[in-house]
Amino acid sequence: MDLGLTDKVIIVTGGSKGIGGAITEVLVDEGATVIIAGRKKEDGEKKIAELADRAGHADFFQIELRDDDRREELVTYVLGKYGRLDGLVNNAGVNDGIGLEQGSADEFVESYQKNVVHVYSLVQKTLPALKESKGSIVNIGSKVADTGQGGTSGYAASKGAINALTREWAVDLAAHSIRVNCVIPAEVWTPLYDRWIHTLANPEERLKEIVSRIPFEKRFTTAAEIANMTVFLLSNMVSGHTTGQIVYVDGGYTHLDRAYH
């Protein structure tokens, strides 16, 4: 299906790997130009090479998202090279394990820097261009904001803030015809998840336990399923009157009874 994204210019933070990489792939297949904003140049270049023969175009901008000057340079680069911006996907973040007993107040604030402040700042800096294009913003949240996880207060609070800001910005920006939505993953198999599960003493047993609690089909959500919903929400053709929504793509994990069999 043509989602009307051909030649649209969209920034995807953390767009080289995992969920972000899948979002980049679907957008490029839809004919969009994607600027991957990421820390590791080798990851960005690898993703660009993978997408070279597809319908759209991928570009890479190396950035430490906590660097405000670099955030400004990202927006300047995009507008200078492409002359417009039609969408922003705030995907980058880290579950850093800053817990109630394991972290300090300074580390809690740093968790906000990693997960919320750069999102707020990028929306601010891209706003003039998004107003001009009547663009769209999609934030990638986490079920941790709803369910808790234990041992990760900074990340849980950050993702709760992302949910709140999604609705706040949807109200702020409706008058400018800018739509703002949020996609919530729960258990998604990515390289990062694979690394995490293997830090546990009994990874195979723990994996089976997690899968057993996902109501729909007893399986992980795929990164492609998160990406498809994200791109759906970016498209004015199919989501043109959808804003302020927090959409759970999680096989029912967050809201259905996880003890369901």
Mean pLDDT of the chain: 95
**182 in Cβ contact with 162 (< 8 Å):** yes
Quick: pLDDT tens for 180-193.
999 999 999 888 78
- The rounded distance, in Å, linking the Cα atoms of 99 and 10 is 34
The pLDDT of 28-38, averaged and rounded, is 98
Q: Does domain 9-249 have CATH number 3.40.50.720?
A: yes
The pLDDT of 4-9, averaged and rounded, is 98
- 3-state SS of 72-89 is HHHHHHHHHHHCCCCEEE
Residue 245, CA distances (Å) to 2, 66, 161, 231 in order: 23, 27, 14, 14
Question: For the chain, what's the residue count?
Answer: 261
The pLDDT of 204-227, averaged and rounded, is 94
pLDDT band at 198 (very low <50, low <70, confident <90, very high): confident
What DSSP letter does each residue of the chain carry, written as one string? ---S-TT-EEEEET-SSHHHHHHHHHHHHTT-EEEEEES-HHHHHHHHHHTTTSSSEEEEEE--TT-HHHHHHHHHHHHHHHS---EEEE---------TTT--HHHHHHHHIIIIIHHHHHHHHHHHHHHHHT-EEEEE--THHHH--SS-HHHHHHHHHHHHHHHHHHHHHGGGT-EEEEEEE-SB--HHHHHHHTTSSSHHHHHHHHHHT-TTTTSPBPHHHHHHHHHHHH-HHHHTT--S-EEEESTTTTTS-TT--
The 10 Å Cβ neighbour count of residue 40 is: 12
Where are the chain's structural domains?
9-249
Q: Can you give the pLDDT at residue 259?
A: 62
**23 in Cβ contact with 90 (< 8 Å):** no
Q: Can you give the pLDDT at residue 193?
A: 83
Reading the block at residue 208, the tokens are 């089976």
The pLDDT of 30-55, averaged and rounded, is 96
- The percentage of the chain sitting over the pLDDT mark of 70, rounded to a whole number, equals 98
Q: By C-alpha distance, which of 172, 166, 168, 190 is closest to 248? A: 166
The pLDDT of 42-64, averaged and rounded, is 96
pLDDT at 261 over 80: no
The pLDDT of 159-168, averaged and rounded, is 98
pLDDT band at 258 (very low <50, low <70, confident <90, very high): low
Would you name the residues annotated as active-site residues? 155
Q: Can you give the pLDDT at residue 189?
A: 87
Q: Can you give the pLDDT at residue 199?
A: 82
Q: Can you give the pLDDT at residue 88?
A: 99
Quick: pLDDT tens for 61-118.
999 999 999 999 999 999 999 999 999 999 999 989 899 998 899 999 999 999 999 9
pLDDT at 44 over 70: yes
Q: Can you give the pLDDT at residue 260?
A: 54
- The rounded distance, in Å, linking the Cα atoms of 246 and 237 is 19
Q: Which residue has the higher pLDDT, 201 or 178?
A: 178
